[in-house]
C-alpha cells in the first residue's frame, strides 16, 4: 500500500540518486517541473476533448468522434492545426505587449502548481505561505488579460479586457474571503498543514473535511462560483462573449498565441480546482477509513476530475450572465455572505470548545446554518429584484 | 428560491448526459459517411437525360431541340445536333444530339431545363457527391455520363415518373390506333412524313 502511495516519490529519489550530489537539487527541481508540466499538459489535452464530448452528450449530440478511436486524437489534430496557423500581428498593435501577453498569462499559472499537495509527500515546494503565494501569482492573469486587450488596438479586444478585469478583480474578493475561514481554522497558510488539518474521521466514520461543515459547505459553493468567474468559464464568459464582442481580448490573437491563451485558461481552471480540492475536499485524504488502501494521488485525481466534470456540467447548463448581474452577484451576494461566513466559522470553532454546547453537532449545525441561510435568502431576493426594474438608457433612446 | 432554476437545469442536462448513452432516440445526429438519409423526392441537384429501354444511345428521349440550352440561365448546356434521325417512342422520326454537355461547375441547379423540356427528357438528379480532383475536365459531363435510365428516374422521382409514363403510354396507344386506322384506310400515304417535316428546322 505505502509502495503504491509513494511510487512517484520513490521514482523521484531514484532519478535524483543517479546524478552527482552537487547537481541533485537542480535535477530534483527539473524532474518535478517536468512531471507537473507533463501531467497537467496531458490533463489539458484530455479535458479539451472530454469537455467537448460531455457537452455534446448533454446536448444529445455525439461530440467529436472522427480522429482516432472515439475521437481521442482530436487534441493532436487541434494542436497541429494551432501550430501551423499563421501568427497574425495587427499592423497598428503594440507589438511588444501583444507578444508578451500570452506569456504573462501562462507562466504564473504554471508557478501556481508549485504549492499544491497532489498526494502524501507530493508538494513541489512546501511554502509556509502557500495559499498567499497561490493568490498572489494567480492575480497576475488579470494583468495579462488587460495587456492582451490593450495591445490589439481593437474595440472588441478592449471591451473584452475591461469586462475581464472588472470580473476577475470583483471575484478575487469572494474567492479569497471564501478561503479565509479555512486558514482561520487550520491556523496556517501552508497548504500541507491545511490538508493535515482535514485528516482523520469524526465519530460517524465521516471524514473531517471542511466541506462537511456548514461554513465549509457555504465557502465551497462560493469558492466554486468565484473560481468559475476567475477562470472566465461559462456562465461567466463575458470577457470572451462570442455573440457580443467577437472573442473579447482574444480577438487579435491567432495560431500558437491563441493556443497559449487557451492553455492558460485551462491551467488556471486546473490550478483553482486543485486549490478547491485542497481547501475543502480534504486534499488527498480518502473519504472513508476502508478506502485508505488506495493511493493518495488517486484520491486527489478523483476529486479533481469530479470537480472538473462539475465545471463542464455547469457550462453545459447555464447561459451567460449580463454584466450588471455578474457584478451584483459578486458585490451584493457573495462578498456579504463570505464575510458572514467568517462569523459562522468562528461560531463553529468556538462552539466546538465551549461547554455551552455539550458536543451536540445538530445544534452547532443549526446555529451556523441559520447565520448563513437567512441572510442568503434575503440577499438572493434582492438579486431577483434586479431584473424586475426596466433598464434606463440615457443616450441610446 | 435562489438557485432552484440552476438545479432544475442541471438535472435536465444531467439526464441528457446519461440518457444519451442508453436511449438511442436521443441522438438525432446522422453519422454521414457511414449512414445516409434517403433524399426527399423533390430534392434536386444537377440535370440528367432520361432514356427508355436498356440502350442509352438508342433510347435517349432527347431530340436536340435546344430549348433547354436557350433557357438555361447560366448557359451551362451545350448541344450539337446529329445529322441523322431516328424514330422516337411513337415511331416519329426525330433528331438526336451528337453532343450534349453540361458544365456542372456552372450549373446552378435551378431546374428550368427540366421544366421547359417538352419531351420529358431532361430531369433533375439527386446525386450530390460530385467533387473531383481536377478542376475542369471531370466537371464537364458528356452525354454518356448524363444518360440515365427511366428506371432510375422512377426510383428517385416516383410521382413524377409515374405520371409521365402514363401520359407517354397514352400518347403511344393513341398514335398506334391512329396508325392502325391509317393502315386500314389505304389513303394518305404520307401521314408520318408530314409532321416530321414540320419538326425539322
Query: Are A124 and A272 within one domain?
Result: yes
Q: Tell me the chain A residues in contact with residue B13 when contact means C-beta distances shorter than 8 Å.
A: 58, 313, 316-317
Compute the distance between CA of residue A221 and CA of residue A148 in angstroms, rounded to an integer.
31
User: In which residue ranges of chain A is pLDDT below 50?
Assistant: none
In a domain, A201, yes or no: yes
Query: Are A260 and A324 within one domain?
Result: yes
CB atoms within 10 A of CB A344: 23
In a domain, A366, yes or no: no
Q: Is A62 close to B28, i.e. CB distance below 8 A?
A: no
What's the mean pLDDT when you consider all of chain A? 85
Query: Are A142 and A271 within one domain?
Result: yes
Q: Is A62 close to B17, i.e. CB distance below 8 A?
A: no
Chain A residue with the nearest C-alpha to that of B29: A61
Compute the distance between CA of residue B112 and CA of residue B117 in angstroms, rounded to an integer.
9
Q: Is B2 close to A381, i.e. CB distance below 8 A?
A: yes
Domain enclosing residue A22, as ranges: 1-84
For residue B86, list its beta bridge partners: B94
Query: Are A220 and A118 within one domain?
Result: yes
Most confident stretch, A310-319, B50-59, B132-141: A310-319
Interface test with chain B among A51, A53, A314, A316, by most B beta carbons within 10 Å: A316
Burial group, residue A256, by CB count within 10 angstroms (0-12, 13-18, 19+)? middle
Contact A333, A379 (CB under 8 A): yes
Query: Are A30 and A176 within one domain?
Result: no
Contact B168, B61 (CB under 8 A): no
pLDDT at B166 over 80: yes
Chain A residue with the nearest C-alpha to that of B26: A60
Q: Is A60 close to B1, i.e. CB distance below 8 A?
A: no
Compute the distance between CA of residue A67 and CA of residue A72 in angstroms, rounded to an integer.
7
Query: Are A146 and A30 within one domain?
Result: no
Query: Are A148 and A290 within one domain?
Result: yes
Written as nine digits, the cell of B19 is: 440518457
**Which has more confidence, B138 or A226?**
A226
What is the CA angle A36-A42-A46, rounded to 5? 140
Query: Are A59 and A101 within one domain?
Result: no
Nearest by CB to residue B16, choosing from A58, A318, A380, is A58
In a domain, A336, yes or no: no
Query: Are A148 and A244 within one domain?
Result: yes
The long-range contacts involving A322-325, CB below 8 angstroms and separated by at least 24 positions, are A323/A163, A323/A166, A323/A238, A324/A386, A325/A383, A325/A386, A325/A387
Spell out a b/e string for B87-114, using b for 16 or more CB atoms within 10 Å of the CB, else e.
ebbbeebbbbbeebbbebeebeeebebb
Interface test with chain A among B16, B22, B33, B34, by most A beta carbons within 10 Å: B16
State the DSSP code for A283: T
Please count the residue pairs, one from chain A and one from chain B, whose beta carbons lie less than 8 angstroms apart: 46
pLDDT at B195 over 60: no
| Domain final position from A40, A55, A84 | A84
pLDDT at B112 over 90: yes
CA atoms lying within 13 Å on the CB side of residue A218: 30
Compute and round to an integer the Cα radius of gyration of chain B.
26
Q: Is A380 close to B3, i.e. CB distance below 8 A?
A: yes
**Which has more confidence, A355 or B161?**
B161
- Å from B131 to nearest chain A CA? 21
pLDDT at B129 (0 to 100): 86
Nearest to A213 by CA among A361, A333, A376, A334: A361
In a domain, A394, yes or no: no
| Domain final position from A48, A67, A84 | A84
In a domain, A356, yes or no: no
CB atoms within 10 A of CB A141: 25
Compute the distance between CA of residue A367 and CA of residue B143 in angstroms, rounded to an integer.
89
pLDDT at A313 (0 to 100): 93
Query: Are A74 and A165 within one domain?
Result: no
Q: Is A377 close to B2, i.e. CB distance below 8 A?
A: yes
- Å from A88 to nearest chain B CA? 31
Query: Are A200 and A75 within one domain?
Result: no
* Helices A95-112 and A255-280: angle between axes, nearest 10 degrees: 30
Q: Is B2 close to A316, i.e. CB distance below 8 A?
A: no
In a domain, A252, yes or no: yes
Query: Are A171 and A24 within one domain?
Result: no
pLDDT at A122 (0 to 100): 82
pLDDT at A198 (0 to 100): 85
DSSP per-residue codes, A201-213: B-TTS-B--GGGS
Percent of chain B residues past pLDDT 70, beyond the cut: 92
Tally of domains within chain A: 2
What SS3 class is residue A125? coil
Compute the distance between CA of residue A60 and CA of residue B177 in angstroms, rounded to an integer.
63
Written as nine digits, the cell of B32 is: 454521414
| Domain final position from A84, A99, A123 | A84
pLDDT at B197 over 50: no
In a domain, A125, yes or no: yes
pLDDT at B192 (0 to 100): 52
Nearest to A164 by CA among A247, A240, A269, A225: A240
Whether cis (ω within 30° of 0) applies to the bond prior to A235 is yes
Interface test with chain A among B10, B12, B13, by most A beta carbons within 10 Å: B13
Could you tell me the pTM of the whole model?
A: 0.79
In a domain, A312, yes or no: yes
Chain A residue with the nearest C-alpha to that of B31: A62
Question: Which domains, and CATH codes, for chain B?
Answer: 47-169 (3.30.70.3270)
Amino acid at each position: 500500500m505505502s509502495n503504491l502511495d509513494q511510487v512517484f516519490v520513490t521514482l523521484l529519489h531514484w532519478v535524483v540518486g543517479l546524478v552527482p550530489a552537487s547537481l541533485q537539487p537542480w535535477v530534483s527541481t527539473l524532474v518535478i517541473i517536468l512531471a507537473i508540466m507533463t501531467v497537467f499538459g496531458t490533463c489539458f489535452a484530455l479535458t479539451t476533448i472530454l469537455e467537448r464530448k460531455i457537452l455534446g452528450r448533454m446536448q444529445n449530440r455525439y461530440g467529436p468522434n472522427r480522429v482516432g478511436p472515439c475521437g481521442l486524437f482530436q487534441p493532436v489534430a487541434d494542436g497541429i492545426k494551432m501550430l501551423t496557423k499563421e501568427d497574425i500581428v495587427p499592423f497598428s498593435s503594440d507589438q511588444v505587449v501583444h507578444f508578451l501577453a500570452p506569456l504573462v498569462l501562462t507562466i504564473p499559472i504554471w508557478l501556481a502548481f508549485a504549492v499544491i499537495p497532489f498526494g502524501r509527500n507530493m508538494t513541489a515546494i512546501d511554502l509556509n505561505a502557500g495559499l498567499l503565494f497561490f493568490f498572489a501569482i494567480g492575480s497576475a492573469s488579470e494583468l495579462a488579460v488587460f495587456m492582451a486587450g490593450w495591445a490589439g488596438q481593437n474595440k472588441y479586444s478592449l471591451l473584452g479586457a475591461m469586462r475581464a478585469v472588472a470580473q476577475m478583480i470583483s471575484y478575487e474578493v469572494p474567492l479569497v474571503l471564501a478561503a479565509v475561514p479555512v486558514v482561520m481554522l487550520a491556523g496556517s497558510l501552508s497548504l500541507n498543514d491545511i490538508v493535515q488539518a482535514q485528516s482523520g474521521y469524526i465519530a460517524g466514520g465521516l471524514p473531517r473535511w471542511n466541506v462537511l461543515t456548514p461554513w465549509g459547505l457555504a465557502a465551497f459553493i462560493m469558492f466554486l462560483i468565484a473560481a468559475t468567474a476567475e477562470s472566465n468559464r461559462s456562465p461567466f464568459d463575458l470577457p470572451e462573449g462570442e455573440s457580443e464582442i467577437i472573442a473579447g481580448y482574444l480577438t487579435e490573437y491567432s495560431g500558437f498565441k491563441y493556443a497559449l491563451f487557451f492553455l492558460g485558461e485551462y491551467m488556471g481552471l486546473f490550478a483553482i480546482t486543485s486549490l478547491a480540492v485542497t481547501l475543502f475536499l480534504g486534499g488527498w485524504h480518502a473519504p472513508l477509513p476502508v478506502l485508505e488502501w488506495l493511493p493518495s494521488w488517486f484520491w486527489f485525481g478523483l476529486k479533481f476530475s469530479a470537480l472538473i466534470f462539475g465545471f463542464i456540467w455547469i457550462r453545459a447548463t447555464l447561459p451567460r450572465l449580463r454584466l450588471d448581474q455578474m457584478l451584483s452577484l459578486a458585490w451584493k451576494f457573495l462578498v456579504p455572505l463570505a464575510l458572514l461566513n467568517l462569523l459562522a466559522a468562528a461560531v463553529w470553532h468556538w462552539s466546538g470548545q465551549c461547554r455551552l454546547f455539550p458536543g451536540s453537532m445538530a445544534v452547532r449545525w443549526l446555529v451556523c446554518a441559520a447565520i448563513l441561510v437567512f441572510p442568503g435568502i434575503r440577499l438572493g431576493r434582492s438579486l431577483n429584484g434586479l431584473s424586475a426594474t426596466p433598464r434606463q438608457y440615457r443616450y441610446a433612446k | 428560491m435562489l438557485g432552484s432554476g440552476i438545479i432544475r437545469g442541471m438535472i435536465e442536462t444531467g439526464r441528457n448526459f446519461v440518457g444519451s448513452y442508453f436511449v438511442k432516440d436521443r441522438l438525432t445526429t446522422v453519422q454521414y459517411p457511414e449512414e445516409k438519409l434517403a433524399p426527399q423526392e423533390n430534392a434536386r441537384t444537377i440535370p440528367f437525360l432520361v432514356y427508355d429501354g436498356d440502350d442509352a444511345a438508342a433510347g435517349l428521349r432527347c431530340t436536340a431541340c435546344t430549348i433547354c440550352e436557350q433557357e438555361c440561365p447560366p448557359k451551362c448546356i451545350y448541344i450539337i445536333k446529329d445529322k441523322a434521325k431516328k424514330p422516337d417512342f411513337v415511331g416519329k422520326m426525330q433528331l438526336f444530339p451528337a453532343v450534349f454537355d453540361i458544365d456542372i461547375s456552372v450549373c446552378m441547379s435551378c431546374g428550368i431545363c427540366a421544366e421547359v423540356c417538352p419531351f420529358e427528357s431532361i430531369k433533375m438528379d439527386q446525386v450530390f457527391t460530385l467533387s473531383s480532383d481536377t478542376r475542369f475536365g471531370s466537371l464537364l459531363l458528356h452525354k454518356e455520363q448524363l444518360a440515365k435510365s427511366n428506371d432510375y428516374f422512377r426510383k428517385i422521382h416516383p410521382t413524377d415518373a409515374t405520371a409521365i409514363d402514363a401520359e407517354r403510354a397514352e400518347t403511344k396507344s393513341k398514335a398506334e390506333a391512329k396508325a392502325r386506322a391509317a393502315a386500314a384506310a389505304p389513303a394518305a400515304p404520307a401521314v408520318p412524313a408530314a409532321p416530321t417535316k414540320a419538326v425539322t428546322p
